[in-house]
Amino acid sequence: MRDIVYPPVVGFARAAFKVLDLRFTMTGTENVPRTGGAVIALNHISYVDFILGGYGAVPSGRLVRFMAKEVLFRNRYSGPLMRGMHHIPVDRSAGTASYQQAVRYLGEGEVVGVFPEATISRSFELKEFKSGAVRMAAQAGVPVIPLILWGTQRMYTKDHPRDFTRHRPISITVGEPITVTPEDDATEATAHLRTTMAGLLDQTIRAYPEQPAGAWWLPASYGGGAPTPEEAERLDQEELRRRAAKRSGRS
Its domain, for residue 26, covers 6-250
Is 36 within a domain?
Answer: yes
Q: Which CA distances in Å does 180 have to 16, 23, 105, 189, 190?
A: 37, 34, 17, 7, 10
Alpha-carbon Rg for the chain, nearest whole angstrom, is: 18
pLDDT of 142 > 70? The answer is yes
pLDDT at 95: 73
Is 112 within a domain?
Answer: yes
Domain count, the chain: 1
Q: Which CA distances in Å does 34 have to 58, 172, 224, 239?
A: 10, 18, 38, 40
Cα 160 from Cα 217, distance rounded (Å): 10
User: How do beta strands 38-42 and 111-114 pair?
Assistant: parallel
pLDDT in tens, 204-225: 999 999 999 999 999 999 999 9
pLDDT in tens, 182-208: 999 999 999 999 999 999 999 999 999
Is 89 within a domain?
Answer: yes
- Bridge partners, residue 42, by sequence: 147
Angle between helices 132-140 and 186-207 (to 10 degrees): 110
End-to-end CA distance of the chain: 41
Cα 156 from Cα 162, distance rounded (Å): 5
Mean pLDDT of 115-142: 97
Is 188 within a domain?
Answer: yes
3-state secondary structure of 113: strand
Is 1 within a domain?
Answer: no
- pTM here? 0.95
Cα 24 from Cα 161, distance rounded (Å): 22
CATH at 215:
3.40.1130
Is 158 within a domain?
Answer: yes
Q: Which CA distances in Å does 6 have to 64, 84, 180, 240, 243?
A: 10, 7, 29, 33, 33
